[in-house]
Structure 1
Amino acid sequence: MNITRENKDALNAVVKIDIVADDYQAKVDQLLTDYRKKADVPGFRKGHVPMGMIKKQYGKSIMIDEVNKLLQESLNKFITEEKIDILGNPLPRVQDDFNWDADKFSFEFELGLVPEFDVDLKSKKKVTKYKIIATKELLEEEVKNIQTRYGKMSPLEEVTKEANVTGTFVNEEKEINKKGTFLVSDLEGKKNEKKVVGAKVGDVIELETKKLFKDDHKLQHILGVAHEEIHDLDIKVTLTVEDITKTELADLDQELFDKLFPDGSVKTASELKDKIKEDAEKQFAQQGDQQLLNAVTEHLVENTKFDLPAEFLQKWLATAGEKPLSPEEAKAEFEKSEKGLRYQLIEGKVMKDNDIKLDYAELVDYAKGFIRTQMAQFGNMNPEEKELDDIAGRILQNQEEAQKLQSQLISQKLLAFYKENMSFKSKELSYEDFVKEVYK
Structure 2
Amino acid sequence: MNITRENIDALNAVVTVDIAKEDYSDKVEKILVDYRKSANIPGFRKGHVPMGMVKKQYGKAVLVDEVNKLLQDALGKYLVEEKLDVLGNPLPKAQDDLDWDAEAFSFEFELGLAPKFDVELKSKKAITHYNIVADDKMIDDQIVNIQKQYGKIVSQTEVTKDSEITGTFTNEEKEIDNSTMITLDKLKGKTNPKKFIGAKVGDVITLKTKGLFNNEHDLMNALKVPHNDAHGLEIEVNFTITEINERELADLDQELFDKLFGEGKVTSVTELKAKIKEDSEKQFAQQGDQKLLNDVTESLIENTKFDLPASFLQKWMQTAGEEEMTEEQAKEEYEKSEKSMRYQLIEGKLIADHNLQVQFEELKSYAMDMIKSQMAQFGQMNPSDKELEDIAARILSNQDEVKRMSEQLVSQKLLNLYKTEANIKTKDITYDDFVKEFYS
Range class of TM-score, shorter chain: over 0.9
For 1:421, the equivalent position in structure 2 comes to 421
For 2:195, the equivalent position in structure 1 comes to 195
Report deviation, 1:215.
Answer: 4.8
Q: Distance in 2 between matches of 1:391 and 1:295?
A: 36
* Structure 2, unaligned runs of 5 or more: none
Of 397-406 and 186-195, deviating more is: 186-195
1:120 aligns with 2:127: no
Q: Distance in 2 between matches of 1:428 and 1:157?
A: 46
1:165 aligns with 2:177: no
For 2:380, the equivalent position in structure 1 comes to 380
Q: Deviations over 1:311-352 (max 9, x none)?
A: 111111110111111111111211121111111110000011
Q: CA, structure 1 residues 384+234, in 2 after alignment: closer, same or farther (shift >3 Å)?
A: farther
Report deviation, 1:68.
Answer: 0.4
Report deviation, 1:268.
Answer: 1.2
Q: CA, structure 1 residues 407+179, in 2 after alignment: closer, same or farther (shift >3 Å)?
A: farther
Q: CA, structure 1 residues 136+214, in 2 after alignment: closer, same or farther (shift >3 Å)?
A: farther
Report deviation, 1:210.
Answer: 3.8
Q: Is the 8 A contact 2:20 2:105 kept in 1?
A: yes
For 2:251, the equivalent position in structure 1 comes to 251
Give TM-score scaled by structure 1 length.
Answer: 0.95
Q: Distance in 1 between matches of 2:15 and 2:172?
A: 64
Q: CA, structure 1 residues 381+186, in 2 after alignment: closer, same or farther (shift >3 Å)?
A: same
For 2:364, the equivalent position in structure 1 comes to 364
Q: Is the 8 A contact 2:364 2:392 kept in 1?
A: yes
For 1:82, the equivalent position in structure 2 comes to 82
Aligned-residue RMSD, C-alpha: 2.0
Q: Distance in 2 between matches of 1:224 and 1:298?
A: 38
For 1:132, the equivalent position in structure 2 comes to 132
- Spell out the pairing of 1:85-96 with structure 2 (5 A cutoff): 85-96=85-96
Q: Is the 8 A contact 2:125 2:423 kept in 1?
A: no
Report deviation, 1:146.
Answer: 0.6
For 2:339, the equivalent position in structure 1 comes to 339
Q: Deviations over 1:18-40 (max 9, x none)?
A: 11111100111111111111222
Q: SS of 1:110's equivalent? A: strand
- Spell out the pairing of 1:35-184 with structure 2 (5 A cutoff): 35-171=35-171, 176-184=176-184
Residue 266 of structure 2 aligns with an amino acid whose one-letter code is: V
Q: Distance in 1 between matches of 2:175 and 2:412?
A: 42
Of 380-389 and 104-113, deviating more is: 380-389
For 2:16, the equivalent position in structure 1 comes to 16
Of 215-224 and 106-115, deviating more is: 215-224
Q: Is the 8 A contact 2:169 2:177 kept in 1?
A: yes
Report deviation, 1:382.
Answer: 2.2
Q: Distance in 1 between matches of 2:68 and 2:29?
A: 16
Report deviation, 1:51.
Answer: 1.0
Q: CA, structure 1 residues 170+301, in 2 after alignment: closer, same or farther (shift >3 Å)?
A: farther
Q: Distance in 1 between matches of 2:270 and 2:169?
A: 40
Q: Deviations over 1:274-326 (max 9, x none)?
A: 10000000000011111111111111111111111111111111101111111
Report deviation, 1:209.
Answer: 3.5
Residue 25 of structure 1 aligns with an amino acid whose one-letter code is: S
For 2:284, the equivalent position in structure 1 comes to 284
Q: CA, structure 1 residues 405+176, in 2 after alignment: closer, same or farther (shift >3 Å)?
A: farther
Q: SS of 1:394's equivalent? A: helix
State how many pairs are aligned: 440
Q: Distance in 1 between matches of 2:131 and 2:232?
A: 30
Q: Distance in 2 between matches of 1:115 and 1:226?
A: 47
Q: Distance in 2 between matches of 1:107 and 1:427?
A: 59
Q: Deviations over 1:380-402 (max 9, x none)?
A: 22223222222222222222222
Of 261-270 and 277-286, deviating more is: 261-270
Q: Deviations over 1:170-208 (max 9, x none)?
A: 456666544332222333333111111122223322223
Q: Distance in 2 between matches of 1:33 and 1:308?
A: 49
Q: CA, structure 1 residues 99+173, in 2 after alignment: closer, same or farther (shift >3 Å)?
A: farther
Give TM-score scaled by structure 2 length.
Answer: 0.95
Residue 287 of structure 1 aligns with an amino acid whose one-letter code is: Q
Q: CA, structure 1 residues 302+223, in 2 after alignment: closer, same or farther (shift >3 Å)?
A: farther
Of 211-220 and 158-167, deviating more is: 211-220
Of 75-84 and 311-320, deviating more is: 311-320
Q: Is the 8 A contact 2:187 2:212 kept in 1?
A: yes
Q: Distance in 2 between matches of 1:426 and 1:230?
A: 39
1:434 aligns with 2:434: yes
For 2:349, the equivalent position in structure 1 comes to 349
Q: Distance in 2 between matches of 1:228 and 1:435?
A: 23
Residue 143 of structure 1 aligns with an amino acid whose one-letter code is: I
Q: Is the 8 A contact 2:86 2:114 kept in 1?
A: yes
For 1:5, the equivalent position in structure 2 comes to 5
Q: SS of 2:190's equivalent? A: helix
Q: CA, structure 1 residues 258+113, in 2 after alignment: closer, same or farther (shift >3 Å)?
A: same
Report deviation, 1:405.
Answer: 1.1
Q: Deviations over 1:139-159 (max 9, x none)?
A: 110000010001000111221
Q: SS of 1:24's equivalent? A: helix
Q: CA, structure 1 residues 268+217, in 2 after alignment: closer, same or farther (shift >3 Å)?
A: farther
Q: Distance in 2 between matches of 1:176 and 1:374?
A: 39
Q: Distance in 2 between matches of 1:114 and 1:145?
A: 55
Q: Distance in 2 between matches of 1:350 and 1:229?
A: 44
Of 349-358 and 260-269, deviating more is: 260-269
Q: Distance in 1 between matches of 2:307 and 2:130?
A: 32
Report deviation, 1:214.
Answer: 4.3
Of 142-151 and 182-191, deviating more is: 182-191
Of 209-218 and 417-426, deviating more is: 209-218
Q: Distance in 1 between matches of 2:173 and 2:74?
A: 63
Q: Distance in 1 between matches of 2:225 and 2:116?
A: 47
Q: Is the 8 A contact 2:293 2:415 kept in 1?
A: yes
Q: CA, structure 1 residues 226+122, in 2 after alignment: closer, same or farther (shift >3 Å)?
A: farther
